[in-house]
């Protein structure tokens, strides 16, 4: 299975699996230091301080198997097509920008909306950026949903997923999920794609 993956997708998947496995052999606090902690916590005694590296490191940490599985399954399904489209170097930059953009969105929301939040972990910000890029690049590609089990074009799937995340975030539904981080990953990916397109147009003139 891993042989069919592009190099960067394979490396990201393996890194996430190794860090997940590490939680069973190292002290929990070691991995908690990689999580994204709020800039200002309502309960400082129960939190670790924010450090700049957390803007990226949190995207490789998962504490629950199903969280890891869903993110890595999406990476497996969509990541290689996006890497082939962008090329490995641009894909690496794109993924990092989406992960960091998601982290910045999460920090902005928790700081400005005075939301009580614990540490944020998971590759979802990067995955949502990949979904956006996939939907823009292959809008008519048919995706089969698990529930309901109906085919749907990629552009519609990505649009509906983004609207759902916005709805859940605004109305504080499904708490414990960083909905605005997901949207931040999509927004960061969109801005980078628009920047690349503008660069390409300027070079053609």
Q: Residue 70's domain is classified under what CATH number? A: 1.20.1540.10
- Interior/surface letters 143-158, b for 16+ CB within 10 angstroms, e for the rest: beeeeeeeeeebeebb
When divided into structural domains, the chain yields a total of 1
pTM for the full predicted model = 0.90
How far from the centroid of its chain's Cα atoms is residue 119's Cα? Answer: 15
pLDDT digit string (tens) for the chain, length 205 residues: 667 899 999 999 999 999 999 988 887 778 899 999 988 765 555 678 889 999 999 999 999 999 999 999 999 999 999 999 999 999 999 999 999 999 999 999 888 876 666 889 999 999 999 999 999 999 999 887 766 678 889 999 899 888 888 888 776 655 667 888 999 999 999 999 999 999 888 877 6
Which tokens is 86 given? 């962008």
Do 130 and 75 touch, CB atoms closer than 8 A? Answer: yes
Which residues make Cβ contacts (< 8 Å) with residue 58, sequence separation at least 6? Answer: 34, 35, 36, 99, 103, 119, 120, 121, 122
What torsion, rounded to 10 degrees, do the Cα atoms 94, 97, 100, 106 define? -90
Q: Domain limits at 112?
A: 2-204
Q: Say what the pLDDT of residue 151 is.
A: 86
Q: Provide the 10 A C-beta neighbour count for residue 180.
A: 24
- Computed on alpha carbons and rounded to an integer, the radius of gyration of the chain in Å comes to 17
Residues in the chain: 205
């Amino acid at each position: 299975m891993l042989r069919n993956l592009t190099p960067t997708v394979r490396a990201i998947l393996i890194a996430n699996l190794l860090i997940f496995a590490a939680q069973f052999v190292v002290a929990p606090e070691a991995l908690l230091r990689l999580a994204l902690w709020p800039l200002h916590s309502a309960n400082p005694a129960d939190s670790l301080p924010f450090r700049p590296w957390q803007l990226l490191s949190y995207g490789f940490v998962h504490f629950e198997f199903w969280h890891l599985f869903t993110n890595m399954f999406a990476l497996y399904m969509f990541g290689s097509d996006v890497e082939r489209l962008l090329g490995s170097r641009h894909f690496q930059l794109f993924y990092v920008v989406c992960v960091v953009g998601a982290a910045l969105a999460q920090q902005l929301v928790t700081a400005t909306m005075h939301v009580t939040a614990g540490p944020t972990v998971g590759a979802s910000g990067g995955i949502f950026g990949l979904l956006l890029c996939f939907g823009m690049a292959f809008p008519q590609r048919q995706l089969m949903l698990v529930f309901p089990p109906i085919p749907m074009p990629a552009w519609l799937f990505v649009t509906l997923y983004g609207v759902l995340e916005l709805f859940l975030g605004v109305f504080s539904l499904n708490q414990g999920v960083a909905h605005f981080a997901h949207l931040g990953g999509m927004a960061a990916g969109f801005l980078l794609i628009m920047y690349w397109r503008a660069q390409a147009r300027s070079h053609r003139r």
